Amino acid sequence: MPAPLKLAFLAADTEKAQEALVSLERLYGRVELKRADVIVPLGGDGFMLETLHRYMSLKKPIFGMQRGSIGFLMNEYRDDGLPDRVAKARGSKLRPLRMVARTIEGAEIEALAINEVSLLRETRQASKIRITIDDTTRLDELICDGVLVATPAGSTAYNLSAHGPIVPVGAPLLALTPICAFRPRRWRGALLPLTAKVRFDILEAEKRPVSAVADYTEVRDVASVEVIEDKKEVLTLLFDPEHNLEDRILKEQFEP
C-alpha cells in the first residue's frame, strides 16, 4: 500500500480558515511546503490566487478547500479522509499570462496573471486604446473605461462581470473583453488563440492615464502593454471528481 500523501496546509487570515487549519494539522500533522506532495490552501478564490502566485516556483499541485467568501476554484471543505480524497482528485493544468508593461517614463515591468490582465482608466476621462493582435492592428481606437485579457480559468472572474464569454478550461482560447466601451459602442470583444500576442497602446497617455493590472500587480501610467501566454510556467489545480473545474464552468453558463 502506498504511503499517504504529505499535505501542507495554508490558511487565510479569517477565523473560519484559521480554525480549519488547526483542525487539519491536528489530524494530519504539519508538513513543510518543500516536503509536501500537495499544497492545501484554506480560504476563498483570492487566497487561492495568492497561493498560486507565491508558491509557483515549488511546482506543487494545489488542492484548495472553501473557507472564504468566494470559492469557484476551491473544493468543498471536509476534514475526514483527506489524503485519500486528494489522491483521487483530478488535475486541471493552467498556464498564466505574462504582462510586459511600459510606462510613460520608460520603465518596463513584468508580471504574471493567472486570471487576467486588465487595463483601467485612472481619471474621469475615458481611455483611448489601440489593440494589436500578432502585429496586426485590429482596433485603431477603443474609447472605454478599460479592456482585459482573461485566461480560461479567469474567464468566470472579472471577465464575466464585464459581460465577457466563459471559456472552458482546456480550450486554447483567451477572452478579450472591453470594459464599458463607448466607441465602438457595439464591440463586445473577441476570442483569441491561446498563442496570440496582444498589444495595447495607450493613446493620449498623459492626458488620459491608464493603469495595467496582472491579477493584483498594478502598474500606473502605462504607455503600452503586451500580453502573451507564459510557456515556462504550468500550474496544477486538483478537484474532486464529482465537482471539477470544467463542471463548474459549464454550470456557471446556465445559472439564472
Q: Which residues are annotated as catalytic?
A: 45
Task: Cell numbers for 138, please give them.
Answer: 485590429
Alpha carbon distance 153, 169 (integer Å): 6
DSSP 197-223: -EEEEEETTTTS-EEEEETTEEE-SEE
How open is the CA angle 188-95-111, to the nearest 5 degrees?
Answer: 80
Alpha carbon distance 233, 160 (integer Å): 25
Alpha carbon distance 71, 47 (integer Å): 10
